[in-house]
Structure 1
Amino acid sequence: MRKLWVAALSISAAACGTGTEVARGPEVVTDTIGDTIVVHTVSGSVWGSDATLVPELSIGEMDGADEYLFGSIASIAVDDDHNVYVFDRQAQHVRMFDTEGSYVRTWGGPGQGPGELQRAEAMAVLPDGRVVVRDPGNVRLQVYGPGEESSQEWPYTTGYYTSSPLWTDDQGRTYAPARDLSQPQASFGDLLAVFDPDGTPRDTISPPHGEFEGETVTGERDGARVTYGVPFSPRAIWAVHSSGHFVSGISSDYKIDLELPEGVLRIERTYEPARVFPREADHRRAQTERGIGMSIPGWTWDGPSIPDTKPPFSGLYSGRDGRIWVPVSTEAQEVENEDHDPDNPFSTPVNWRSPLRFDVFEANGTYVGAVNPPGDFSPNPSPVFEGDDVWAVSRDDLGIQRVVRYRITLESDP
């Protein structure tokens, strides 16, 4: 094992949104353990301060042309020219907008015919500009473009209904959630069906950490069985990186693995755990009891204790540029629920809200810095990240959805 201490790794980078060249660097410890390179950030970052997201472009209106009104945005994507694609689950079609936010065209529509969609769920863009839509309702992947009238159908017999994203990589491969048809009742498993750029099924692969079993609580009665995860307990998290490899981790520790052809790059960071407040734990335990109680009346908590700190991270996203975006846990605040309905057993007088925060890493493990998005920024559906630009869905006080392009800006900038 070889260990190297780098006390203030010097990296030249452009300060986001300013165009000013700066030289800042984190303090890093690197280890080489077999075929795993560990990059552990002790302190500091390339940016030297936190960043925020400033909106630059908004697509979507409450009043106006139908092309700019969204019913239920389930997926967004961006191509190399920064055209924006929006899949509307309610309308069952994909709308394309240019880099200025102007409407270009619509693909799809509800139905079972060529080019139509039935209970489609997610969308992604291939490097050549084609749009792939996962449509288990029609048992296929529907492919549009690059021309207005061009479309293809790729059989997708292993598909099932899920809220998972659809992934593509920079080699033009597509990754879709799949089930193992060789198992009894075609059980749903953590599998991905991989398709080549021409739609040929390439392989079925298992994401990492499939053997990990997080803590759960279970209610059973008269043949009914309901299982919930213990709130704030660690879980296995993974995503498909733009390189076509997995980025993954078990959230008990701040350790994230990026698979590489020659081995593994492990990203680590020293962090301060976010606390779980006693009233917050009581709130989440009560939610779990109500959920299981819907099927197992009278069920009360009989599982392990809820942790008093949160896992270091709660998700993983891969940017188009290879950067890794990590939603990190933050401490929550108790806020009044203005929409509380006493007659709804799942409605509570108060909610606990945790500010959204991302850690951003380069694909070589360098810690770039932290980003604090505005309150109307939604991490679902999956945002699109590329360089200093972020595209995400935003919802206003009236519930109107929009797709917003944000610019990363350092909070220390004037």
Structure 2
Amino acid sequence: MHPGKAQEIIELPPENRWLEPQFEELYRVGSLGGKDWEQFGSVRRVAFDATGQLYVFDISTKRVYVVNQRGELRRTLGGPGEGPGEFRRPDGLAVMRDGRLVIADMGHLAYHVFGPDGQFERRVRMAPESAIATLTDFMPDPGGHAVFTATGSQPLEIRFLDQGQEKRYTSLPIERLLLTGDVITRETVAEGWLPMNETTWLEDRPVFGPRMLAGVLPDGSVAFSDSSAYSIKIARLGVGVWRILRRPLQPIPVTNRMIAVEKDRQLANTSPGLAKYERARIASLSFFEEVTILRNLKTGWDGEIWVQRHGPEPVGDDGPIDVLTMEGVYLGSYRRGAVRMPDAFGPSGLVAFIELGDLDEPTVAVKRLPIQVSIR
């Protein structure tokens, strides 16, 4: 576990307090038999603004659909093309509380910024620091005009450039990217732990090892997990880590049986055309010495922190979901399989889930959280 320089350490209780998943469904959008705009191809991201409007990013049509609180279409943004506000290879979505919207575009190597009225404002160039441009999920700054990124989190897209050198990583920085100029300005919020020697390729990390998980809180702090332990660090720009939330749950050691089962699982999922390459890759896999406890982390509108533990199988991401506050209050846990991690959180307890219908058509369900897990 990486030693953090925290001002405060809060110990959470070891016992589970089980919550009932009594979510009130408000509306759904997305249907093969619905209106033309609802016939989504692939919903990549969803988000809310402060008025409760829903933003649906369909990566297949390269458009963002803005939906009011009744599930009715208000406006459409973007679309394929080369002109202002049009996208080449869009991915990722950040919606500010005032409705300002940011879409990344690896084709343009830029962020597209739209105003609260849906009008295109400008492109802000990414200025990659390496010959490998990696786009990870980015999160809105509650104050607006910036997004946060966490190196080492799940990549959305990778582009190999013709210039520059591969960057060597010795840590996993969490950065605030200012979008007020022609080119992004980077500010480091905290340095996450990289549990290996310096590397140029972050995907070559040990199986079962920690991944960078991060979410932004209402005051602009970032909650993140970067170790195998149940330890959530809270950092702020200019301060660094100032609080750590810990729960006395211990990672289980990795056994030879776990390694064999995981290699067999990956071999079973290889495509015939890549079998030779995949067998060599799987044979050379490295494994962490223990199974990382936390597999997912999201932050709610009012400062809740949702964290998901691994399931019965070490590789499983379907374990219980714990709900905490940024002040260190444990609100309770949802049992394994009782509820999925929400894909977006909004005001007044709103949450959105990206789902598939009976014919595998994408749909988005908007629900309201029960009062005991919504800080209002």
Does TM, normalized by the shorter one, top 0.5? yes
Contact 2:42/2:60 (<8 A) preserved: yes
Contact 1:53/1:373 (<8 A) preserved: no
Match of residue 256 from structure 1: 232
Residue 301 (1) aligns with residue 283 (2): yes
Instruction: Output the CA distance in 2 between the equivalents of 1:299 and 1:114.
Output: 42
Q: Kindly, what percent of the aligned residue pairs are identical?
A: 22
| Residue aligned with 2:65, SS | strand
Instruction: Output the CA distance in 1 between the equivalents of 2:255 and 2:371.
Output: 31
Residue 185 (1) aligns with residue 185 (2): no
Residue 51 (1) aligns with residue 12 (2): no
Instruction: Output the CA distance in 2 between the equivalents of 1:37 and 1:154.
Output: 40
Instruction: Output the CA distance in 1 between the equivalents of 2:202 and 2:101.
Output: 38
Shift of 1:360: 1.2
Residue 152 (1) aligns with residue 135 (2): no
- Most deviating of 123-132 and 367-376: 367-376
Contact 1:394/1:404 (<8 A) preserved: yes
Change (3 A) 1:378 1:279: farther
1:134 alignment partner, one of 100, 104, 111? 104
Shift of 1:132: 1.2
Change (3 A) 1:299 1:196: closer
Residues 16-68 of structure 1 show CA distances to partners (whole Å, capped at 9, x for unaligned) of xxxxxxxxxxxxxxxxx9852111112457xx532325333211112121111
Shift of 1:90: 0.6
Match of residue 208 from structure 1: 191
Instruction: Output the CA distance in 1 between the equivalents of 2:244 and 2:52.
Output: 31
Shift of 1:214: 8.5
Match of residue 244 from structure 1: 220
Residue 233 (1) aligns with residue 229 (2): no
Change (3 A) 1:238 1:58: same
| Residue aligned with 1:141, SS | strand
Shift of 1:140: 2.2
| Residue aligned with 2:322, SS | strand
Change (3 A) 1:125 1:188: farther
Residue 328 (1) aligns with residue 297 (2): no
Residue 312 (1) aligns with residue 309 (2): no
| Residue aligned with 1:315, SS | strand
Contact 1:391/1:404 (<8 A) preserved: yes
Residue 269 (1) aligns with residue 269 (2): no
Shift of 1:96: 0.4
| Residue aligned with 1:70, SS | coil
Match of residue 324 from structure 2: 361
Instruction: Output the CA distance in 2 between the equivalents of 1:298 and 1:200.
Output: 41
Change (3 A) 1:43 1:119: same
2:8 alignment partner, one of 5, 12, 37? 37
Shift of 1:171: 1.1
Larger Rg: 1
| Residue aligned with 1:185, SS | coil
Structure 2, unpaired ranges of 5+: 152-158
Instruction: Output the CA distance in 1 between the equivalents of 2:165 and 2:331.
Output: 46
Structure with higher strand content: 1
Contact 2:14/2:248 (<8 A) preserved: yes
Instruction: Output the CA distance in 1 between the equivalents of 2:60 and 2:54.
Output: 18
Number of aligned residue pairs: 345
Match of residue 366 from structure 2: 405
Contact 2:48/2:344 (<8 A) preserved: no
Paired AA for residue 329 in structure 1: H
Residues 222-250 of structure 1 show CA distances to partners (whole Å, capped at 9, x for unaligned) of xxx99744432334433444433332223
Contact 1:168/1:242 (<8 A) preserved: no
